[in-house]
Each structure stands twice: as C-alpha cells, then as structure tokens.
DNA sequence: CTGAAAGCGCTTACAG
DNA sequence: CTGAAAGCGCTTACAG
C-alpha cells in the first residue's frame, strides 16, 4: 500500500511547521493565522489527498471516539436493529462503533471487554448475559463509562436503558383476558436474566396457576418448546392462549402449532414479543409487544456520551412498550 | 476514569526498562532474557491489571488489526448474518471489525470509506451500492486492500466473493417449470446492480416473454410490488408462479398475495431468495435460493487477509447456491 | 542479558 | 503570526 500522507508532508509541501498545519486543519487559533498560509495548507491537504490519522490523534488525546457495542448476537434482528440505530446516532457525534457478540456467555463478554479495552474504546454499550456480575464490577472497577441496555442488574447502580418488562407482560396477559381467554400459557426461558424474569412475573402475577409456565432451555429451544406446549395442551384445563416472552420462542412455537394444525386464534390465541417479518407473514398476523427501538438505542448512546463527559453521572431510563394488536389474539 | 496502566508503570514497578517489558510481554527475544526477570514482569502485568494499548502499538506498527465492513444495512438479516460470521472469523485472526451501513448510497459509502480510513483500518470488506465506480477506483488508487462481496463490478479487476446469481435464478425457474408452471413472473428491482441483473437474466433467459418482469423501485417497494403483481395477474395469460429475486421483495409480495387471498401454491407457486424466518412461518413454507453464508463471509475474510499480506494478489471466488424446495412451489 | 534512544503521526503549551 | 519541542504508549535496531 502506498504510504499515507501525513501532516509532515503537507508542512514540507507548503513550507511551514507541522504545528501550523495541525492548527489550520483543526481550525484552532483561527484569526491568529494569516489567511494566505491557512488557504495554502488547506489546499495542499486536498491536493495530497490527506486523511488525518485518527490513531495518532487518539494516542495524544487519549480519546478514540470509538464505542464498544456488545450484544448477544449481531445476527439476531433485535441486536442488529439496535446496532443500526446506534451506528447512525454515533456517527452524528463523530463516533465509530466496534461490535462484538457475546452469545449470552459471561466469559465471552469478558474477552470482548478486554479486546475492546485494548482498542481503547471510550465507553461501552452492553447487553449483559446471565451471571455477569463479575464483568459488571470489573467495568466499575476500572472506571470506564458504560451503559447497560435491554438487560440490567437492578441491585447494582449503573447507567441503564430498558423497557418496563413487567408492565409489558401484564398488558399482554390483560389483553388476552379481555378477549375471553381463560387458560393462558407462558413460554419463556429458564434463566435468571432480570428482564425475562420480569416478563414472567408480569404475566404470572395476573394468573392464578403458575404451572402454566414453560421454561425453555435456550440450547434446547425447539425441543423444549414442543414439549412444553404439548404439556399445556394436555392438562385438565388445556390452554386457549399462549404468550411468548421472546421473538425466537414465538417463532419456534408458531411453527409447532402449524405442524399440529392448531388454528390461531380460533383454538389458541397468541401474543409474541418484539417485531419480526415472520409475524406479518403468519396467516393470522401476530399480536406482539413492540419495543421502542429508536428510543432504546438513542437513549443508550445519549447516556453513554453523558457518562463519557462526566463519569460520575449514573442515569437510568425505563421505557414503555406498546401492544400491537392483530388477528392472532382476537376472534 | 482511572489512568490506565502502561508499560512504563510495569517497568518502574519491576525496576527494568520499558524495552524489556515490551520484549517479555510480546514473547520476543525469548531465551535471551533471564527467566526471573521475565516472570516478575509477567506477574506485575497481571497484578497491575495491565491492558496493552493497541492504539500506541498501531501507531508504531502501522497496523491496527481492524477491518472495515461496509454493508447495505446492518439491520438487514443478510448483512447481519454476514457480519456475525466475519466477526467470529476475524477474532480468530486477532482482528476487530468496525462496521458501517451505506443504505445503498454511493455517497454514504464514500463517507464511510473516509471515516474508516481515518481509523486506519487495515482493509475493507464491502458490499458496494450502485454507481460506486468512483469509490472503487479511489480504493484502488490509494492501494488499500479490500474485498467486494455479494456485489461486484465484473469489468473491474478486484478481489471479490459472490454467488453465481445467473445459475441460481436459472435453477429457480427450471424448478418451477419442472413443476408444471407455465407463466412465471419475476419480481426484481429496477437497478443496475450486477448481481441483481444477473438474477434477472438467469430467470428471463429461460423464459420467452420478458414482459413478465416487474421492476420495483426500492423506495416504493410495497407500492410497486402490488402494482406489478396486479399487472401480472390481469394479463391475458395470467401468471401461475412468482420468482422474487430478494428477500424483501418476497416478503412484500407474499403479504400482498395474502391480502388478495390467493392460495400458495395452488394458484401461484412462489420461490424466494435468501433465508428468513418469515418463509418458515408462511402457511406454505417458502421455497428459496439459499446462499452459502458461512462460505461467503469466511472467504471474504480470507481473501482480505491474503490481500493484506500481499497487496498484489487479486482473487475471486464464485460460490454455488442451493434451492431449498418446500411447499410454496410444489403441488 | 539489558537499556538508551529514536520514531510512529499527531497536539499543544510555550517562546519568540 | 509562527516554530521548536515534548509527549501520548508502544516497538525495535543498536550498543554494550
């Protein structure tokens, strides 16, 4: 590759010091530099196709204008939608984004944190997996600005942005009841993740019989979904509705209902969580809990920038969801 | 934020020069350094929670071990799947990924290239939008290693990884014919993008009547899809099959067929392009052209690493697709 | 076996 | 209005 042109090349081209070039290109000391020289420098920069070396600048300034984004899996639509919005917002503020996928593993999260710290990111936006208390306190320990989103640990003080999961689930269940459903099954994950527990709690608090909850192991998703639904269909008072607490669970469950030729909503009413094209294409478009993605992402970035500006601030934002009612839950 | 610990801190802690610390931590000059000192240095690094500053190293080495990934839109499943695989592969080779979304705009692509060049990425993996010849020659001009994927410009010599779009489309059409379909409509974009032209060409070469092609404007997607399908349904010999050349087109089209209560595959057989959950959940699971995502992504990275190692190499890889046949196209 | 020193490409306080 | 110089945190050729 050709040698990149540096400030030095411009300086020698114009016949001034590198300091002057730097001042001009950064619009520092305006008015205190003769217009002719400034113009010559700017022209030379263009002529030589100069691209500033952010690495060198970062080393000096101790700021990389880069943020680390750790999601569960960038291939998951929820994560990639968030990533996209953060990308756009970050760009507005002159930040770049390096991302990493944790696969819901605390260990991978730790590796990613180290890797990104290596890259001297100015801060993190993180969706933390289960059992990541150690990582949380590590981040707190080194004092790097960070914001949790989607998931958070209520007992530890941090910056975070999340939705009101309890309320979201309550509303979903209430909606099913308002539409005459009596036996509502909940399909969720077997997890200690706070946001999912809250969804479960929001749903079950409205229901009497907690045995209607299916706890799916994430690495046996389809299998456990099938088994769980089978169970709920074969109890004394079989279910007439299902609430899925995540996207992936809903897709898996709907496929299974299809294979059983169970009619939605006639036999089973369905409510899902999060938006997906798949819900639209289902013969009975699926009612779902819609998260305010734009807000989630942009607030996460805002809080991070605030934290970078002042590491002492700790802010939290809890956003409301919206139940988008469609055919799958209404007769 | 607390001051990060540097090689200097370790050096003064142990009582040696920074050079020695660097050698030990990088396992250089092994055997030529006393074991005791080496051990002390390593221990101190751990004790002090040392994280090497990749920025400083990059400045010196002129390598950032970072690659720039430019996709059309990271929120699009195709892009995010690719991104995920590249992330994993890159990590294996000690590379990080900074990504950006071009929104199919050559201008945004240019901005992203500059932004990432700023960040001193070692190379690019890019899905180029339409009319990006200028960007291509810019990249060639500055001599930075890069690999095109998905889309490429056949008349310009570059590294690229793509699928055989012509063949993929031919196979899809042939499959529909083998299943007795006579009047096959093609829904594609109005675009000069080579890979999409090839899909169109692959399809139409097998068909006599080219008026069966609908060219959708990307920013009037739903509208044009409807209009196009309406037209194909109302010609003298109405269609009995539809081939959608992309994911988004298929989803839009299927929604419209749903609203018209047209039965798939009884009235219209359907073949889509690319995998999506939505295809699985459709009442007649959709037959689709499956791209080898793993191969696409890992080959892209491989070619890039090759190009970084030797900027003179120009390699291209064309991969085969697979037609996944399901209910939507078979009676 | 170990250290002093230069240098990567910038920025910026200081001096003139 | 402009420049010489130090320094960000590393690496590495050179000297001893």
Task: Kindly state whether B61 is in contact with chain A, defined as any CB-CB distance less than 8 angstroms.
Answer: no
| Under 8 Å between Cβ of B158 and B314 | yes
Instruction: State the angle between helix axes of A293-309 and A77-92 in degrees (0 to 180), rounded to the nearest 10.
Output: 50
Which pLDDT belongs to residue A307?
Answer: 95
Which pLDDT belongs to residue A208?
Answer: 75
Per DSSP, chain B holds a count of helices (H) and strands (E) of 13, 12
Whether residue B303 has pLDDT greater than 90: yes
Closest CA to B263 of B240, B290, B287: B240
**Rounded to 5°, angle at Cα A64 from A62 and A67:** 130
β-sheet with A241-244: strand ranges across: A213-216, A184-189, A241-244, A269-273, A287-290, A322-324
Residues 68-97, chain B, touching A (beta carbon < 8 A): 73-77, 79-81, 83-84, 87-88, 91, 96-97
Read off the tokens for B318. Answer: 């064309």
Closest CA to B270 of B212, B330, B201, B322: B330
Whether residue B135 has pLDDT greater than 70: yes
Which pLDDT belongs to residue B273?
Answer: 97
Contacts of A28 (CB under 8 A, 6+ apart): A22
Distance between CA atoms of residues B131 and B164, nearest Å: 21
First to last CA, chain B: 65
Which pLDDT belongs to residue B34?
Answer: 84
> Which nt has its C1' nearest the CA of A51?
C9
SS3 (DSSP) at A316: strand
Task: Kindly state whether A144 is in contact with chain B, defined as any CB-CB distance less than 8 angstroms.
Answer: yes
Same fold, B7-52 and B64-162+293-320: no
Phi, psi angles (nearest 5°) of residue B289 = -85, 120
Distance between CA atoms of residues A16 and A8, nearest Å: 9
Residue A299's Cβ-side half-sphere holds a number of Cα atoms within 13 Å equal to 18
Distances (CA, A) of B247 to A277, B79, B275: 11, 12, 7
Could you report the per-residue pLDDT of B50-80, keeping only the tens digit for each? 999 999 999 999 999 999 999 999 999 999 9
Could you report the per-residue pLDDT of B213-255, keeping only the tens digit for each? 999 999 999 999 999 999 999 998 999 999 999 999 999 999 9
SS3 (DSSP) at A186: strand
Mutate to test the interface with A, among B262, B281, B326 (most CBs of A within 10 A): B281
> Which nt has its C1' nearest the CA of B26?
D11
A142 CA: distance to closest CA in chain B (Å): 6
Facing A276 at nearest CB: one of B79, B99, B277: B277
Q: Find the radius of gyration of the CA atoms of chain A.
A: 26
DSSP A77-100: HHHHHHHHHHHHHHHHTT-EEEEE
Whether residue B210 has pLDDT greater than 80: no
Residue B174's Cβ-side half-sphere holds a number of Cα atoms within 13 Å equal to 10
Closest CA to B326 of B275, B277, B271: B271
Whether residue B211 has pLDDT greater than 80: no
Peptide bond into A124 cis (omega under 30): no
Q: CA nearest B49 in A: which residue?
A: A142
Helices within chain B (DSSP H only): 7-14, 18-25, 35-47, 54-61, 77-92, 106-118, 133-142, 165-178, 194-204, 221-233, 247-259, 277-281, 293-309
Which pLDDT belongs to residue A210?
Answer: 64
Around Cβ B164, how many Cβ atoms within 10 Å? 16
A77 CA: distance to closest CA in chain B (Å): 7
Distance between CA atoms of residues B220 and B231, nearest Å: 16
The mean of the pLDDT values for chain A is 93
| Under 8 Å between Cβ of A258 and B283 | yes
Q: CA nearest B113 in A: which residue?
A: A51
Contacts of A106 (CB under 8 A, 6+ apart): A129, A130, A131, A132, A134, A135
Sequence ranges of the domains in chain B: 7-52, 64-162+293-320, 165-291+324-329
- Smallest Cα–C1' distance to nucleotide D11: which residue has it? B60
Q: May I ask the CATH architecture of the domain A7-52? A: Orthogonal Bundle (1.10)
Contacts of A209 (CB under 8 A, 6+ apart): none
pLDDT tens across the length of chain A (331 residues): 567 889 998 988 888 888 899 999 988 876 678 888 888 899 899 999 899 999 999 999 999 999 999 999 999 999 999 999 999 999 999 999 999 999 999 999 999 999 999 999 999 999 999 999 999 999 999 899 999 999 988 889 999 999 999 999 999 999 999 999 999 999 999 999 999 999 999 999 988 766 699 999 999 999 999 999 999 999 989 999 999 999 999 999 999 999 999 999 999 999 999 999 899 999 999 999 999 999 999 999 999 999 999 988 999 999 999 999 999 999 8
- Smallest Cα–C1' distance to nucleotide C12: which residue has it? A19
Strand D neighbors by CB, 7 A:
A 15-20, 23, 29, 31-34, 37-38, 56, 59-60, 62; B 3-4, 6-8, 18-19, 22-23, 25-26, 28, 50, 52-53, 56-57, 59-61
Which pLDDT belongs to residue A29?
Answer: 72
β-bridge mates for residue A181, sequence order: none
Residue B288's Cβ-side half-sphere holds a number of Cα atoms within 13 Å equal to 23
Which pLDDT belongs to residue A201?
Answer: 94
Whether residue B284 has pLDDT greater than 80: yes
B124 CA: distance to closest CA in chain A (Å): 13
- Please report where in the chains the tokens 């930075």 appear, as a residue: B144
| Under 8 Å between Cβ of B255 and A280 | yes
β-bridge mates for residue A146, sequence order: A124
Distance between CA atoms of residues B239 and B267, nearest Å: 9
Question: Among residues of chain B, what percentage have pLDDT more than 90?
Answer: 77
Closest CA to B257 of B240, B245, B273: B240
Residues of A in contact with B51 (CB under 8 A): 114, 117-118
Would the CA dihedral through B219, B221, B223, B224 be positive or negative? positive
Which CATH superfamily is B64-162+293-320 part of?
Response regulator (3.40.50.2300)
What's the whole-number mean pLDDT along residues B165-187?
96
Whether residue B111 has pLDDT greater than 90: yes
Task: Kindly state whether A253 is in contact with chain B, defined as any CB-CB distance less than 8 angstroms.
Answer: no
| Under 8 Å between Cβ of A67 and A97 | yes
| Under 8 Å between Cβ of B121 and B66 | yes
Please report which helix (H) or strand (E) contains residue B187, including its range: strand B184-189
Phi, psi angles (nearest 5°) of residue A324 = -95, 105
Distance A4 CA to C3 C1' (A): 32
Which pLDDT belongs to residue A2?
Answer: 63
Which pLDDT belongs to residue B2?
Answer: 63
What's the whole-number mean pLDDT along residues B163-174?
97
| Under 8 Å between Cβ of A276 and B278 | yes
Q: How do B66-71 and A322-324 pair as beta strands?
A: unpaired
Report if pTM > 0.85.
yes
Question: Among residues of chain B, what percentage have pLDDT more than 70?
Answer: 98
Helices within chain A (DSSP H only): 7-14, 18-25, 35-47, 54-61, 77-92, 106-118, 133-142, 165-178, 194-204, 221-233, 247-259, 277-281, 293-309
Which pLDDT belongs to residue B29?
Answer: 72
Core vs surface per residue A73-96: b (16+ CB within 10 A) or e: bbbbbbbbbbbbbbbbbbbeeebb
Q: Is the CB of A54 under 7 A from strand C?
A: no
- Smallest Cα–C1' distance to nucleotide D3: which residue has it? A17
B165-291+324-329 folds as Rossmann fold (3.40.50)
Distance between CA atoms of residues A177 and B121, nearest Å: 55
């Amino acid at each position: 590759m050709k040698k990149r042109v540096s400030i030095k090349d411009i300086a020698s081209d114009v016949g001034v010091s590198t300091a002057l070039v730097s001042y001009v290109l950064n619009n520092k000391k305006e008015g205190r530099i003769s217009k002719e020289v400034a113009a010559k420098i700017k022209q030379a920069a263009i002529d030589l196709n100069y691209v500033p070396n952010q690495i060198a600048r970062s080393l000096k300034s101790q700021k990389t204008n880069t943020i680390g984004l750790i999601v569960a899996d960038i291939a998951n639509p929820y994560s990639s939608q968030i990533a996209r919005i953060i990308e756009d917002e970050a760009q507005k503020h002159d930040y770049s984004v390096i991302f990493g996928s944790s696969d819901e593993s605390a260990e991978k999260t730790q590796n990613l944190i180290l890797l990104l710290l290596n890259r001297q990111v100015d801060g993190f936006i993180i969706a933390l997996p289960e059992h990541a208390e150690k990582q949380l306190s590590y981040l707190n320990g080194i004092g790097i600005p960070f914001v949790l989103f989607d998931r958070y640990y209520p007992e530890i003080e941090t910056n975070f942005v999340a939705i009101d999961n309890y309320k979201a689930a309550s509303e979903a269940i209430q909606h099913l009841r308002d539409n005459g459903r009596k036996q509502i099954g909940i399909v969720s994950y077997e997890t200690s993740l706070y946001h999912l527990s809250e969804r479960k709690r929001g749903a079950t608090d409205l229901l009497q019989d907690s045995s209607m909850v299916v706890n799916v192991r994430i690495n046996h998703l389809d299998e456990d979904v099938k088994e769980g639904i089978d169970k709920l269909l074969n109890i004394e008072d079989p279910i007439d509705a299902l609430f899925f607490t995540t996207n992936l669970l809903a897709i898996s469950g709907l496929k299974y209902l299809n294979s059983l030729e169970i009619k939605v909503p006639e036999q089973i009413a369905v409510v899902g969580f999060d938006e997906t094209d798949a819900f639209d294409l289902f013969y009975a478009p699926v009612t779902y809990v819609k998260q305010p993605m734009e807000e989630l992402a942009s607030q996460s970035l805002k809080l991070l920038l605030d934290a970078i500006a002042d590491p002492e601030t700790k802010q939290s934002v809890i956003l409301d969801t919206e139940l988008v009612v469609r055919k799958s839950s209404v007769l």
